[in-house]
Amino acid sequence: MKKFSEYYLATDELSEMGMPDKRIIFSTRTSSSILIDENIYQHAINEEFHKIDENIYKTLLEKEFVIDKELDEYNSIMYINKEAREKTNFLGMTIQPSANCQLGCHYCGQTHTKDYASNDLIQKYYDRTKYLLENNQSYNGLAVTWYGGEPLMGYSSIKKTSKKLIELCKEKGFSYVADIITNGLSLKPKLFEDLVKECKITHYQITIDGTAESHDKRRITKSGEPTFDIIMRNIVDIVNTEIYKEYDCNISIRVNIDKTNYQFVEPLIDCVISNNLQGKVSMYFATIVDFGGNDAGKDSLSKDFFAQKEIDWLFKCYENNIDVGAILPKRSYSVCMVENKDSEVWDAFGNIYACWEFPYSETYEKGDSLIGNLFEPVDTYNQNATLRNWSEVVDSGEVWCKTCKHLPVCGGGCPKSWHEGTPACPPFKSNYKEKLLLDYYIRQKRKEIAEA
Ligand code: SF4
Ligand code: SF4
């Protein structure tokens, strides 16, 4: 016996879009979408499967729109996620080797000091990585994310640590990949070349909060100096280097958006185009939220408004050949690093956390959110640190996710956000109908080009 899955989303009937008696349905179980006739859709949701054409029914089964009647969907999703996490073959670590940053952004929840990872601590980073890699037979690779403070202010620590970890992976025959979240201020081509060649860092996330007019009111240095022109110049110089292409590097421009700068997102896209960065960088649009009670989210746009604007920005990027990644979310087996018990964040003092927003933050740097310190014995580590119990939080029904159709592709958004009392639903929850259409439109266009 079969039933129609609970984990699906659907557009409205598409007459207004020139596709009468059609709609797009999306299985969040498999992250697949199909265009379907209205009458078949009605038969499917009413479980009149005998009225559906055999081939279409086969597709509905394959994409898991139709599933076994007795399947407990929520529990099976949680079980599959747990298994996938246990079998993951990459150990993902986040290292924050610098407690310092040149910038003084109003929405940042960190307290910066001039501290960097010492040689003794770098040895501890190495020892702990080796221990974790050897403690789980599933691993055959290491993925390091460099984060801060501004990580490039601790470049010497990045270089020394990378050398040791790359060597460790080489000895074991493991893969090694690395990415960095940087403000981009000191990212000159020479430094970029060293980071790529010596530290194997190929993916760079750089935040630009609109054009100079808005960026320079927010992402200013601690002494109040503007940074837009310098960062943009660095990006332009880097994407035009030989090694950017040769090593398949990517710069992702993140735009943090609220009521005070959403008007500057379109001009920023224009600026990306006028600097001939299309086809070379990708873009990502994010909302600004509170950080441990710092009130950074006081100027947040409403979720619906942001979601509608996001569609306009994504479309503009698509039309201008700026990569925005996949329009539809992929199946997610862990919400983020907090659900992978081996994935840790290490700061410049050796503190260990589960979430990369915890170090250097007054709200989270001590107490239950601290797992331990790399200079202390392993048996002193807190196994129940804040956010590590995310699956249980979902199970308890304390957050909305247990009964949400988006769960298989969302995983719960950001556990820290829920922990602070803010629902973490991503824009997709508000704009999935438009995104299903946009994704369909883009796929059709690509098909037409391929067939021309
Ligand atoms: S809990 Fe939120 S902020 Fe922390 S690592 Fe996960 S997604 Fe990022
Ligand atoms: S965060 Fe929101 S959209 Fe995501 S699973 Fe939870 S309730 Fe659903």
**Do residues 152 and 24 both lie within one domain?**
no
Residues 394 and 329 in one domain: yes
Calculate mean pLDDT across residues 152-164.
98
Residue-number span of the structural domain to which 90 is assigned: 74-452
Q: In the prediction, which pLDDT does 291 show?
A: 74
> Please, which residues bridge with residue 3 across strands?
67
Nearest CA to ligand 1 atom 5: 355
Residue with tokens 């979408």: 33
Cα 69 → chain centroid: 34
User: Each residue of 191-247: pLDDT tens digit?
Assistant: 999 999 999 999 999 999 999 999 999 999 999 999 999 999 999 999 999 999 999
Last residue in a domain, options 55, 71, 87 = 71
Q: Are residues 284 and 429 in the same domain?
A: yes
Residues 2 and 58 in one domain: yes
pLDDT at 247: 98
Q: Are residues 309 and 239 in the same domain?
A: yes
Q: What's 343's domain CATH number? A: 3.20.20.70
Token pair in block for residue 368:
């239950």
Residue 289: the pLDDT is 80
Task: Decide which of 23, 50, 71 is a domain's last residue.
Answer: 71
The ligand minimizing its distance to the Cα of 401 is 2
pLDDT digits (tens, 9 = 90+) for 311-336: 999 999 999 999 999 999 999 999 99
Pairing mode of beta strands 90-95, 32-37: unpaired
> Which residues are near ligand 2 (CB < 6 Å)?
400-401, 404, 406-407, 410, 412-413, 424-425, 429
Mean residue pLDDT of the chain comes to 96
> Is the domain of 63 the same as that of 86?
no
Ligand 1 pocket residues where CB is under 6 Å: 336-338, 355-357, 387, 414-416
Question: How many structural domains compose the chain?
Answer: 2
Q: Helix (H) and strand (E) counts for the chain? A: 15, 14
CB-CB contact of 243 with 196 (8 Å): yes
Pair (12, 143) in one structural domain: no
CB neighbourhood size of 389 (10 A): 16
Show the CA angle centred on residue 352, arms to residues 179 and 285, nearest 5°.
Answer: 40
Of 401, 402, 430, 435, the residue with max ligand 2 atoms within 8 A of its CB, to mutate for a pocket test, comes to: 401
Q: Tell me the CB-side half-sphere exposure of residue 217, using CA atoms within 13 A.
A: 8
For the CA of 413, the nearest atom of ligand 2: 1
| Helices 428-451 and 303-319, axial angle in degrees (round to 10) | 10
Q: Which pLDDT score is estimated for 295? A: 77
| One domain, residues 61 and 80 | no
Q: Which long-range contacts (CB under 8 A, 24 or more apart) does 158-163 make?
A: 158/95, 158/97, 158/195, 158/199, 159/194, 159/198, 159/199, 160/119, 160/122, 161/95, 161/97, 161/117, 161/122, 161/125, 161/126, 162/198, 162/199, 162/200, 162/201, 163/198
Same domain, 1 and 100: no
Model confidence over 267-300: pLDDT tens digits?
A: 999 999 999 999 999 999 999 887 766 777 888 9
* Best residue among 406, 420, 428, 431 to mutate for probing ligand 2, ranked by most atoms within 8 Å of CB: 406
Q: Cα–Cα distance between 376 and 288 in angstroms, integer? A: 35
Which residue CA neighbors atom 3 of ligand 1 most closely? 357
Which pTM does this prediction carry?
0.95
